[in-house]
Amino acid sequence: MTMPQNPLGGTHVLNGARGFFRLAEGLRWRLALGVGLASAAALASFGLLVLSGWLLAGAAVAGLGGQAAARAFNIMLPATGVRFFALVRILARYLERVVAHDGALRLGGRLRGWVYARLAPLAPAGLTSMQGGDLLGRFVSDTDRVAAYYTDVALPFCRALLCSVVFVGVFACVLLSAALALAVGLLLGGVLVPLVVGPAMDRLVRLAAEKQSYVQVELAQTLQNMGEYLLWDGARSRTRHWHAQQAVVDGARWKLDALESAARGLIGMITFVTVLGVLVLAASACQAGQLHVAEIPMLVLGVLAAFDVAVPLPMARQAGAEARFALTRLETSSAPAPAPAPVAVVGEAHKPHAPYDLEVQGISFAYPNTITPVFQNASLTIRQGEHVALVGPSGIGKSSLINLLFGFYAPHSGCICFGGVDVSTLRAEDMAAFISVATQDFHLFAGTLRDNLLLAAPQATDQELADVLEAAQLTKFIQSLPQGLQTWVGNDGLRLSGGQARRVAVAQALLRGTPWLVLDEPTEGLDAPLEQALMAALVRRGTRTTILCMTHRQAVLPFMHRVVRVEDACFRPGGGSDMKN
Ligand SMILES: Nc1ncnc2c1ncn2[C@@H]1O[C@H](COP(=O)(O)OP(=O)(O)OP(=O)(O)O)[C@@H](O)[C@H]1O
């Protein structure tokens, strides 16, 4: 994603049509050209039909008028006109597709960049309320719908407006009363019908979209946890639940289709009545000698051609409702959440400086929507180079310190300073330059083991990889794999055991070579000899590295310089009775 291409910047709100217009900055000529080409195609269709009507009727009248009349009738001019309009129509349609769809794709790209730029800073705290399936749905289908606003909504309406003015103007040159009848017909079909069906469409679009998103979230969750559902024998009831939800979506979609078809039918009836009206007006004008008889079919065919631009408008109205709803969801889903700490762009003056000591000064913190504080006036100092074990019962707040340290959440009071700088003035990526973390919920991306390791340090050499794998006690395991580090893991790849995955996370953290290492339960799930070997290697490797190790394991403590216990929402010196052997 290249931010400079995004005219909205990272945090702007699109704010409806105006924001959309700003999103199109630099593309406006391309988009206007698309509208121009679409209008040219519609005008060429109109010209083709009108001229054909005139040509056929003129030829028939000339034929009936005998030899002299037939000789006087110049067929070349209208025939050339017909060919000209046919050619223009083909070319304009082709170019319109190329230009308009290219514009829509570019808009879609910008929109995705905008959504990503707004969502990324919220992770992870600001995204906890959003489910993966919903987030993906918004990212994919909502952005598609909003980007299609141009081709599916703006373009048909602009074309209808531009062309209607020309159609009525052409009719006015031939017969004023027919022009008035056409204008009234187009107003009824192109404005009144979309206006009438609009509110019902809005309601149904909202219902279908909300239910669809719910079904999507449920689907993602069900697929992710299918194993559990099968174990509980709940798969069948999930399927039934789903069918019921999907039926609501299908019902709303069916009603939308029915509404759109009815609107089209109504426009068809208005077309028919307008044709009749123009026919009657043209016939009486012909009787009064104001109109040549050959011009009557020309006007009738002209009405039919003119209504071609009104027929897609109900569909465009529906697409407009979908785009507006999608835009609202995009704006609300990516609106900055209150939870993350305010961040200032780090400058030289703000960079942490050696010694990289951590000073937690009287912090109080509770997660949003919870009442029990995780920390209350808690203080802790860790000097650079210390190896500290952070212990305490499960759920007491050990991992929460990582969230606060990286600014994913902000303490309600007190402050956390790292290297002399308040971490609330730093971004998570600035902290990451100094601290490597091996978390408990480490995620393996789909790729080879090597790819996963290199995510942490793309420039790492083979020797560096071998060293960290040795320290993480993974060398034997890697050697046992036929493809070694090239073994595919993640989606559809090798499933690592909990202990193996944790050690890959440790290896990743070691690879970055930062002055600080935070390890969340690194030895969980390991047998005693492996645990001892891992801790010994970590300490040996990290004599100058500060290590903060969250652990439940008694065996880890002898490797640390000191032990800090989280108790009563505070940090206290010493181990505890809840430690595992
Ligand atoms: N994102 C969150 N939103 C709300 N509450 C949370 C969130 N993350 C953790 N908590 C709660 O905060 C408390 C501390 O959680 P934390 O993960 O820090 O505990 P822990 O000491 O690391 O536990 P464990 O040893 O089991 O890993 C727990 O009660 C937990 O339920």
HEC assignment per residue over 71-119: HHCCCHHHHHHHHHHHHHHHHHHHHHHHHHHHHHHHHHHHHHHHHHHHH
Q: Hey, what are 421's tokens?
A: 């700088």
d(CA 557, CA 532): 11
d(CA 267, CA 255): 18
Interface pTM, i.e. ipTM? 0.96
Q: Which atom of ligand 1 is nearest to the CA of 400?
A: 18
d(CA 505, CA 489): 13
Beta carbon of 89 within 6 Å of any ligand 1 atom: no
d(CA 506, CA 522): 7
Q: Best mutation site among 399, 402, 571 for ligand 1, i.e. most ligand atoms within 8 A of its Cβ?
A: 399
Show the domains of the chain with their CATH numbers: 3-333 (1.20.1560.10), 348-573 (3.40.50.300)
pLDDT at 114: 79
d(CA 418, CA 431): 9
Beta carbon of 396 within 6 Å of any ligand 1 atom: yes
**HEC secondary structure over 389-416:** EEECCCCCCHHHHHHHHCCCCCCCEEEE
Q: Whose C-alpha lies nearest to ligand 1, atom 23?
A: 395
Q: Best mutation site among 365, 374, 565, 568 for ligand 1, i.e. most ligand atoms within 8 A of its Cβ?
A: 374
Beta carbon of 367 within 6 Å of any ligand 1 atom: yes
398 Cα–ligand 1 center, Å: 8
Beta carbon of 579 within 6 Å of any ligand 1 atom: no
Beta carbon of 397 within 6 Å of any ligand 1 atom: yes
Beta carbon of 340 within 6 Å of any ligand 1 atom: no
Compute CA 73 distance to the chain's CA centroid, rounded to the nearest angstrom: 62
Q: Whose C-alpha lies nearest to ligand 1, atom 17?
A: 399
Q: Whose C-alpha lies nearest to ligand 1, atom 10?
A: 367
Q: Is 214 exposed, middle or buried (0-12, 13-18, 19+ CB in 10 A)?
A: middle
pLDDT at 204: 94
441 Cα–ligand 1 center, Å: 12
Edge-to-edge strand order for the sheet containing 375-382? Answer: 375-382, 358-365, 413-418, 421-422
Q: Hey, what are 529's tokens?
A: 């000899």
pLDDT at 9: 40
CB proximity list for 390: less than 8 A, separation 6 or greater: 398, 401, 548, 549, 550, 551, 564, 565, 566, 571
Q: Whose C-alpha lies nearest to ligand 1, atom 5?
A: 367
568 Cα–ligand 1 center, Å: 14
List, in sequence order, every residue forming a beta bridge with 382; answer none if it has no partner: 358
d(CA 499, CA 519): 13
543 Cα–ligand 1 center, Å: 30
Q: Best mutation site among 363, 398, 437 for ligand 1, i.e. most ligand atoms within 8 A of its Cβ?
A: 398
CB 545 within 8 A of CB 516: yes
Q: Could you give the count of Cα atoms lying within 13 Å of 386 in the half-sphere of its Cβ?
A: 18
Residue range 121-141, pLDDT digits in tens: 666 665 665 555 666 767 778
d(CA 88, CA 93): 8
The residue with tokens 């320290």 is 471
Q: Which atom of ligand 1 is nearest to the CA of 566?
A: 21
Q: Best mutation site among 370, 375, 437 for ligand 1, i.e. most ligand atoms within 8 A of its Cβ?
A: 370
State residue 426 phi and psi, 5-degree precision.
-115, 150
Nearest to 389 by CA among 543, 576, 581: 576
Amino acid at 21: F
Beta carbon of 394 within 6 Å of any ligand 1 atom: yes
**HEC secondary structure over 521-547:** CCCCCCCHHHHHHHHHHHHHHCCCCEE
Strand ranges for 284-428 from DSSP E: 358-365, 375-382, 387-391, 413-418, 421-422
CB 278 within 8 A of CB 299: yes
Q: Which atom of ligand 1 is nearest to the CA of 367?
A: 4
Beta carbon of 395 within 6 Å of any ligand 1 atom: yes
The gap between the terminal CA atoms of the chain, to the nearest Å, is 48
Q: Hey, what are 66's tokens?
A: 């005998």
Beta carbon of 374 within 6 Å of any ligand 1 atom: yes
- CA dist 371 → 250, 257, 366, 375 (Å): 41, 48, 7, 12
Q: Hey, what are 95's tokens?
A: 């170019």
Q: Best mutation site among 129, 400, 404, 406 for ligand 1, i.e. most ligand atoms within 8 A of its Cβ?
A: 400
Q: Hey, what are 276's tokens?
A: 């009749």
Q: Hey, what are 518's tokens?
A: 């935070």
- CA dist 415 → 369, 405, 425, 464 (Å): 21, 10, 11, 36
Q: Whose C-alpha lies nearest to ligand 1, atom 28?
A: 395
d(CA 415, CA 434): 18
Residue 145, Cβ neighbours under 10 Å: how many?
Answer: 24
pLDDT at 132: 58
Beta carbon of 439 within 6 Å of any ligand 1 atom: no
Q: Which regions of the chain are under pLDDT 50?
A: 1-13, 337-347
Helix (H) or strand (E) holding 548, with range, is strand 546-550
Q: Whose C-alpha lies nearest to ligand 1, atom 30?
A: 395
Do you find a cis peptide bond into 482, omega within 30 degrees of 0?
no
pLDDT at 492: 60
